[in-house]
Amino acid sequence: MSAKPFILSLIDDDEIYQYGFKRTVEKSRFAKKVLVFSDGEQAINFMIDNIANAQELPDVIFLDINMPIMNGFEFMEEYIKLKPKVGKKITIYMVSSSIDPTDVERAKSISELTDYIIKPVNESMLREILQKLEQEYD
């Protein structure tokens, strides 16, 4: 698979998972850029700072639930407020090790979330997700 026009963003506080995710994406050339944030607040601030530059914003976000400062659900609350100002479609997947039915149901109740994925996201899952997105962009 060659480089895609996608910018991927990982919002997750686990440094080992960040490293593995970024290496998988770069090795597989799934995206032209990978943005990594350790909490939702960093990611929201980045989006606010780049709101006028839609091409700098991610096309796909992989969002963890449990993080310090601003967790995944709090990020979604802020993103929903910001969404009308975002000049592009952003696909968001909540990615967590939590199998708590409460977390899963809460995530599935947020229409801006595309899906809930149990960690880890591996290369074949990334390929499948990005191939679906490519078809949507065609």
Task: Map out the domains of the chain with their CATH numbers.
Answer: 7-121 (3.40.50.2300)
Mean pLDDT across 59-86: 95
| Whole-angstrom distance, CA of residue 57 vs CA of residue 53 | 7
Write the pLDDT tens digit of every residue in 80-119: 999 999 989 999 999 998 889 999 999 999 999 999 999 8
- DSSP element (H, E) containing 5: none
Looking at residue 137, its pLDDT comes to 64
The pLDDT value given to residue 1: 41
Please indicate, yes or no, whether the overall pTM of this predicted structure exceeds 0.95: no
The 10s digit of each residue's pLDDT in 11-61 is 999 999 999 998 888 888 778 899 999 999 999 999 999 999 999 999 999
Task: Please say whether the beta carbons of 34 and 4 come within 8 A.
Answer: no
